[in-house]
Copies of this chain bind each other. A is one copy, B any other.
Amino acid sequence: MILLISGPSGAGKSTVYHELLRRDPRLGFSVSTTTRPARAGEKDGVDYDFVDDAEFDRLVAAGAFLEWARVHDRRYGTRRDQVAALEAAGRIPLLDIDVQGGVQVLDQVGVEVVSVFVWPPSWAALEARLRERGTDSDAVIATRLKNARWEIGYADRYAYWVVNDEVEAAVRRLEAILVAEGCRRERWGAAPVQAPARELE
């Protein structure tokens, strides 16, 4: 199983999934690779793998990415070896990626992807959250709003919609989605109970 989370920036999705990661040790965060510079407080290899354009080109050429996309003039990608290492460790990879990348994942991988689109409670709330950060210029905020509009247009590709009206409620919805997905018939390799051979009755 892979947990794919997308949603416009300003929906508060990272707050939600960081809390989910804290509660559910089965999950493991898939660290994306990006060409954008680190913001204050971001750690290389934890928040992102920060690389330069030449290294990103090399990874693309090597087929290292499950998906990659250009967002806000920077490139972001999910490395196959990251996802494989989490799976090898028996964990559920959690991917936080933009809709361009999300759609690539959905097109490649089948039933094993649980896709969730995180919505802000309202457009005004999204805009307020973007402004609250205080680190971005008006031009950057305008780009993010334009992008949010575009991201929302892809929400129909996601199996689940979670509105982040309140972090605790949103986290519980995600937890419920993981439990329910574990009960889906398609995820069982075989019936949990076999009736014995007829003559034993």
A interface with B by C-beta (< 8 Å): 116-117, 119-123, 126, 142, 145-146, 148-149, 152, 155-156, 158-163, 172-173, 175-181, 183-185, 188, 191-196, 198, 201
Contacts and interface: CB of A to CB of B under 8 A. Distances in A.
Given A176-B176, A179-B172, A193 B123 contact: yes
Q: How many copies does the complex hold?
A: 2
A54 B196 CA distance: 39
Nearest to A196: B123
A185 B173 contact: no
Nearest to A156: B185
Contacts of A156: 185
Given A177-B180, A180-B181, A181-B180, A120 B161 contact: no
B185 A176 contact: no
B185 A159 contact: yes
A57 to B, nearest CB: 33
Contact of A180 (B145, B180, B195): B180
Given A120-B193, A123-B194, A176-B179, A184 B159 contact: yes
